[in-house]
A and B are shown apart, each in its own frame.
Chain A
C-alpha cells in the first residue's frame, strides 16, 4: 500500500496543498497501511539556486512515497519521479484531507508529463 505525499506549508491533513512543489516547506505524508498522517520537512540544499524540484523529488523518494499529489511538477522532478515509478496526480490548492478523498475516489488527473517549465517548481 502506498505512501502518498502532499507538498504543503502546514503540518497536517487540514493544511492546504502548496502549489510550488520545489519550494514547498513540508510534505504531509499519508500511509495507506496504517491510515495515519505524518509530516517531513522538504529540506533543500541552500547552496544550489537551481534544482529545487530535483531535491524535492529526491525527498519524496527518500520517504518511500509512491504517489505525489501536487499542483505542479517541472520537467526535471518529473524525470526523477517517473524513473522511480512514482505516480503523480495534479490537484488544486485545497485542504489535504479533501484531496485524499478525491484521490481515493479516483477524481484526480494522473500526470503524463511535466506541466511547468520554470525552474522554481
Chain B
C-alpha cells in the first residue's frame, strides 16, 4: 500500500507525522522523502547512507559547428530553456529544461543531441533495526522536481516493502501531484487555525481532482471543538487522528527527535491506523 502524506503548505507537522507513522511501522514499511527541494527526513531518522544514485534527464547539447543559428529550437521551447545569443549561438539553461525533446526534433541540421545530465540524486539509508528509507534531492535551481520524485517512487529498493510512506512536497504544485498520484491513500496533515483550514481546502481540492481516497490528521489541537472538525463534518471527511498541542514535541523536533520519543503511546495507535487503512484500501481497491 502506498500512503502519501501531504499538506497544503509547509509547517503543519507533515513530516513529523509521516516519520512517526513510518517508525511505528518500520518492520513493514519504507519511507520515501519526496520533498525533493527541501528533503529533511534524514535529519530525524539518522540512518547510514549506503547508496547514492544519480537521477539523470536528457538535456540538449548544441554542436556549434553544425548550428546555422536559425533559431527554430529557441522558438520551439515552451520552457524558456534556450536562448539565441547572437554570435555566441544557442545557450541552454539546463535548470529550466523539461526534457520534452522538441528542440532536438525541430533542429534542421542535427546540431542538437540529447545528453544524460544529472538533475538530482537519491540516497538510500539503512536504519537501526533493519529498516530503510530513501531521500530524493533536486539539484538547486532545477525545475525537474517531478523527475526526481518519480525516480524515488520507482526505485528498485522500495519493492520489498509492503507499505510505502511517501512524504510529499507541500502545496498543490506539479511536485505535489507527482508524489501523491498512484497512492492508495492520501493523509492530509493540517492544524486548527484559519491558515490551516485555508491550506487544507486547497489540498482537498487537489486530491479530489486526482480522485484519490483521503483523510485528515489534525496537529496541534488545543480545544475539543475546532474549525477543522467543523469543516470535515460538513464535507464528510474522516479525521484519522488528532494530536494535541504539546510543547515537548516542538522541543524534541528542534533537537532532531521524533514524535514517538515524546509520545511512546502513539506507536500502537499508528500501528492500528495503518492496519485500518490496509483493510479499507483492500476493501475498495
Contacts and interface: CB of A to CB of B under 8 A. Distances in A.
B177 interface: no
A41 B85 CA distance: 19
A50 B84 CA distance: 17
Tell which of A47, A51, A52 has the most Cβ of chain B within 10 Å: A51
Contacts of B86: 61, 83-85
B84 A61 contact: yes
A47 B80 CA distance: 9
Interface of A is mostly: helix
B91 interface: yes
Contacts of B85: 61, 80-81, 83-84
A54 interface: yes
A21 to B, nearest CB: 14
A117 to B, nearest CB: 10
A51 B84 contact: no
A20 interface: no
Give chain B's interface residue range (CB within 8 Å of chain A). 10 to 19
Contacts of A51: 79-81, 93, 96
A67 to B, nearest CB: 14
Tell which of A47, A52, A84 has the most Cβ of chain B within 10 Å: A84
Tell which of B84, B85, B93 has the most Cβ of chain A within 10 Å: B85
B78 A45 contact: yes
A54 B93 contact: yes
A117 B206 CA distance: 30
A57 B83 contact: yes
Contacts of B83: 54, 57-58, 61, 80
A75 B83 CA distance: 14
A79 B80 contact: no
A58 B88 CA distance: 13
Contact of A54 (B78, B80, B87, B88): B80
B74 to A, nearest CB: 7
A55 interface: yes
Interface in B47-89: 74, 78-81, 83-88
A66 B96 CA distance: 25
A50 B87 contact: no
B91 A50 contact: no
B123 interface: no
A102 B91 CA distance: 32
B143 interface: yes
B87 A84 contact: yes
Tell which of B79, B83, B86, B88 has the most Cβ of chain A within 10 Å: B83
A79 B143 contact: no
Interface string A27-69: 0000000000000000001011011101101100100000000
A77 to B, nearest CB: 9
A81 B83 CA distance: 10
29 contacts: A45-B78, A47-B79, A48-B80, A50-B79, A50-B96, A51-B79, A51-B80, A51-B81, A51-B96, A52-B80, A54-B80, A54-B83, A54-B93, A54-B96, A58-B74, A58-B84, A61-B83, A61-B85, A61-B86, A76-B93, A79-B91, A79-B93, A80-B83, A80-B85, A80-B91, A83-B85, A83-B91, A84-B87, A85-B87
Given A80-B83, A80-B91, 20 more contacts: A45-B80, A48-B80, A50-B79, A50-B96, A50-B143, A51-B80, A51-B81, A52-B80, A54-B80, A54-B81, A54-B96, A58-B74, A58-B84, A61-B83, A61-B85, A79-B93, A81-B85, A83-B85, A84-B86, A85-B88
